[in-house]
Amino acid sequence: MSIIRTLLIRVSGPDQLGVSAELFDVLSEIDAVVKDIEQIVVRRRLTLDVLIEVDKGDDALKDLLLFGYQRGLQIDVEEVDGEPTEYTEQCIVTLIGRNLTPSELKLATQAISDSEGNIDRIIRLSRYPVMSYELSVNGGKIAKMKQELLRLASNTPELDIAVQPLNLSRKAKRIVVLDVDSTLIQNEVIDLLAEQAGCGEEVSIITASAMKGEINFEESLLQRVSLLEGLDELSIERAWQKLKLTPGARTFCRTLGRLGFTTAIVSGGFSIFAERLQRELNIKYAKANELEIVEGRLTGKIIGPIVTRRTKAEFLLEIADLEAVPVDQTVAVGDGANDLDMLSIAGLGIAFNAKPIVQDVANTTLRVPYLDAILFMLGVSREEIEAADSSDLP
């Protein structure tokens, strides 16, 4: 009666054309059953691991050693336990930074091991505009791991960390909803309009009062908009010309579109800007406050209900319903307190260069100044972004 042996074969050395095909030809000759495969090439150096089951003796493996000798490759064969390790929980940890240092990598991986997590695989997602890596983690105390990693990120200014369960929802994100002011764009729209109206200082005073909690958001917005009365369309156009997209915004929206995502923007700012951004960036949905314009001039009033933090969350739910997408397959991105409801209900809520109160509450933060770095949190690599850009897709 033959004895089934489980062997881990590791092939390492200079990468060469046809190595994998030749290895599997050898395995076919010894009637091996392939149970698992993993291959990686770093700087043209190959590491190929193949887990097999075989019922033949050691003589049958001589062909493997001959294959390695002829190809100039190192062949290591280890007999391992035939029963796979079972894990109850799996997660993905994404590390992002301008330059991820060995010290930062050590702290992150130590936090994972301290939480009894085992890193199965590390994949580089990007070298620029930031460095990013995706770690596949098996087992461990996920809640503790997430807490420790997010604490590490909050204490390490140059390191951002996202922890997401490894499940179908993580792989099937379908909707991205973005705040506008200081997220999609670098400006605050009302400040641009106030500058044109010559009331920038007065608007700033009201904004500061609202930030201190002396007046609520709705009241502060109505007071600031009233100061814009009489502003003409030419001045609005000049304000538009001063608008600056956040670095990476075009790449972010274009890549999401090419990957089949539905995109939306929602703003406590104004539709006269949001709708232009919607057209320019090919965004499907947009919602913002509507300024009343009579005979080409602002009246200092808003038409309809004001967009609040609750409105933003309801807008996300509305889009998910229209697109027939579960809420856990949505992503929300924002920077201010009025984004908190939206961030909390989304499958992945990202505080992007956010105010401290938002960073403290949000479960994922990103502090690098590039909006397209969010793609790495979604598991999209720089190579995939560039491939999409060079394709014939619209």
Whether 298 and 384 share a structural domain: yes
Q: Hey, what are 324's tokens? A: 């027939």
Q: Which range of residues forms the domain containing residue 132?
A: 90-166
Q: How many domains, the chain?
A: 3
Q: Which of 28, 47, 79 marks a domain boundary?
A: 79
Strand residue runs (E) in 156-210: 160-165, 175-178
Whether 96 and 69 share a structural domain: no
Whether 38 and 94 share a structural domain: no
The HSE-up count of residue 45 (CA atoms within 13 Å, CB side) is 5
227 within 8 A of 194, measured Cβ to Cβ: yes
d(CA 223, CA 240): 22
d(CA 12, CA 377): 30
Note the Cα 86 to chain centre separation in Å: 28
d(CA 326, CA 146): 24
347 within 8 A of 330, measured Cβ to Cβ: yes
Whether 124 and 183 share a structural domain: no
Is the residue at 349 inside a domain?
A: yes
d(CA 61, CA 79): 12
110 within 8 A of 151, measured Cβ to Cβ: no
pTM: 0.84
Q: Give pLDDT, residue 31.
A: 86
Q: Which of 180, 178, 282, 292 is nearest to 240 (CA)?
A: 180
Q: Does position 393 have pLDDT exceeding 50, yes or no? A: no
Whether 59 and 183 share a structural domain: no
d(CA 369, CA 351): 12
75 within 8 A of 25, measured Cβ to Cβ: no
Whether 153 and 72 share a structural domain: no
The residue type of 70 is Q
Find where tokens 């030749």 sit.
Answer: 22
Helix, strand, coil in percent for the chain, rounding step 5: 40, 30, 30
- In angstroms, the Cα distances linking 133 to 39, 299, 341, 382 are 17, 51, 29, 11
Whether 110 and 148 share a structural domain: yes
Whether 118 and 15 share a structural domain: no
196 within 8 A of 236, measured Cβ to Cβ: yes
Whether 21 and 99 share a structural domain: no
289-336 pLDDT per residue, tens: 999 999 999 999 999 999 999 999 999 999 999 999 999 999 999 998
Mean pLDDT of 61-66: 85
Is the residue at 232 inside a domain?
A: no
Q: Give pLDDT, residue 207.
A: 83
Q: Does position 95 have pLDDT exceeding 80, yes or no? A: yes
d(CA 50, CA 23): 10
> Which carries the bigger pLDDT value, residue 57 or residue 326?
326
Q: Which of 79, 114, 145 marks a domain boundary?
A: 79
Q: Specify the DSSP class assigned to residue 83.
A: S
Q: Which of 79, 102, 123 marks a domain boundary?
A: 79
d(CA 59, CA 343): 60
Is the residue at 304 inside a domain?
A: yes
264 within 8 A of 321, measured Cβ to Cβ: no
Is the residue at 33 inside a domain?
A: yes
Query: Which positions are catalytic?
Result: 179, 181
Is the residue at 365 inside a domain?
A: yes
Whether 291 and 181 share a structural domain: yes
Find where tokens 């619209």 sit.
Answer: 394
Q: Which residues pair with 52 in a beta bridge?
A: 7, 34
Whether 10 and 106 share a structural domain: no
Q: What's the CATH code of the domain at 338?
A: 3.40.50.1000
Q: Does position 38 have pLDDT exceeding 50, yes or no? A: yes
Is the residue at 199 inside a domain?
A: no
340-357 pLDDT per residue, tens: 999 999 999 999 999 888
Q: Does position 75 have pLDDT exceeding 70, yes or no? A: yes
> Which carries the bigger pLDDT value, residue 63 or residue 298?
298
333 within 8 A of 352, measured Cβ to Cβ: yes
Is the residue at 229 inside a domain?
A: no
Angle between helix axes 217-226 and 189-197 (nearest 10 degrees) is 30
Whether 384 and 307 share a structural domain: yes
Task: State the pairing for strand pair 74-79/5-14.
Answer: antiparallel
Side by side, the strands of the sheet bearing 45-54 are: 33-42, 45-54, 5-14, 74-79
Whether the upstream peptide bond of residue 129 has omega within 30° of 0, thus cis, is yes
Is the residue at 237 inside a domain?
A: no
Q: What's the CATH code of the domain at 151?
A: 3.30.70.260
Burial class (CB in 10 A: 0-12, 13-18, 19+), 342: buried
